[in-house]
Amino acid sequence: MKIVLFGPPGAGKGTQAKSICNKFSIPHISTGDILRKHIAEKTPLGIEAKKKIDSGQFVSDEAAIQIAEERLKQDDCYNGFLLDGFPRTVIQAEALEEFLNKKDQKLDTALLIEVPKEFIIERMSGRRVCLSCGASYHIKFNPPMFEGKCDVCGSEIMQRKDDEEATVRERLEIYDRQTQPLIEYYKSKDLLSVVDGTKAINDVFINICEILGSAINK
Ligand code: AP5
């Protein structure tokens, strides 16, 4: 399966990506996670990206395309992958298409997790993430077993700086301007599928599995 997963910040991309990748045994490629790793390691890209991410802005298309392509060139992506948070602009989508064309490959689907704005702020304010292993929780909808501790590695879990309300509002505006056009882009290529992301986490996953089952048989 070769999947692009997109949707507004807080739609549940990271949450669903983990379950999809386990089920289909494909690597989860999150450009957000890769950028946060660069930030933690204080690489030149990380230092530049931190300013952008903390203020809710996108990194440049050039940087995003470079990190996505570097990861896609690795052997474990040959039979499939899930891209989470890439592409985020039409320029990035065109670059991805060109990259795959050169390898005689194509996407199976571009899956949009649709969640209206009014749900997003509550989700983001309650999100807690593990800075060690990247696991993500929600204090109400998906709490860890022990308060404040990661189920996976036991480290402390915290709020992401870009989850503060003002930054989330900025991210939503940028999503509308820069990422929404991907809906038409993938519709025109007959690759778009849409799941209602307002349901409970497990129900969203069940619907996604149905959609991906039909995409395989297309
Ligand atoms: P990234 O980390 O990709 O952020 P994002 O796309 O804004 O998405 P989020 O991680 O915030 O949300 P999500 O949809 O994964 O939701 P989650 O599953 O955690 O990117 C960060 C930044 O990096 C960007 O802003 C940008 O600056 C930069 N960047 C990355 N890629 C780039 C690119 N290609 N080009 C340019 N810049 C790029 O869920 C959210 C919360 O809700 C959690 O607490 C979860 O437990 C809860 N939840 C999930 N599903 C449900 C549900 N169904 N019901 C109730 N709660 C739920």
Is residue 115 within a helix (H) or strand (E), and if so which, with residue range?
A: none
What residue ranges do the domains of the chain occupy?
Answer: 2-116+177-216
Beta strand pairing status for 2-6 and 28-30?
unpaired
- According to the annotation, is 58 in a ligand binding site? yes
**104 Cα–ligand 1 center, Å:** 30
Indicate the angle between helix axes 165-174 and 117-126, nearest 10 degrees. 140
Helix (H/G/I), strand (E/B), else coil: 114: strand
> CATH number of the domain at 2-116+177-216, out of 3.50.50.60, 3.40.1670.10, 3.40.50.300, 3.40.50.150?
3.40.50.300
Instruction: Report pLDDT for 23.
Output: 95
- 10 Cβ closer than 6 Å to some ligand 1 atom: yes
Per-position DSSP letters for 67-80, written without gaps between them: HHHHHHTSGGGTT-
pLDDT at 217: 66
The answer, yes or no, to whether residue 215 has pLDDT greater than 80, is no
pLDDT in tens, 96-120: 999 999 999 999 999 999 999 989 9
- Dmax over CA atoms of the chain, in Å, equals 48
Q: What is the pLDDT of residues 133-153, one digit of tens each?
A: 889 999 999 999 999 999 999
Res 9: pLDDT: 94
Checking if the pLDDT of 25 tops 80, the result is: yes
Binding site membership of 8 for ligand 1 (Cβ less than 6 Å): no
Judge whether 160 counts as a catalytic residue: yes
Residue 176 has pLDDT above 90, yes or no: yes
Task: Kindly report, residue by residue over 68-93, the tens digit of the pLDDT.
Answer: 999 999 999 988 999 999 999 999 99
Q: What is the DSSP letter of 162?
A: G
Cα of 58 to ligand 1 centre, how many Å?
13
The residues near 27 (Cβ < 8 Å, ≥ 6 apart) are 21, 74, 76, 77, 80, 81, 82
How many CA atoms lie within 13 Å of 167's alpha carbon, on the beta-carbon side? 17
Q: Which one from 2, 50, 123, 160 is the annotated catalytic residue? A: 160
Q: Is 150 annotated as a binding residue?
A: yes
Quote the pTM value. Answer: 0.93
The pLDDT value recorded for residue 216 is 72
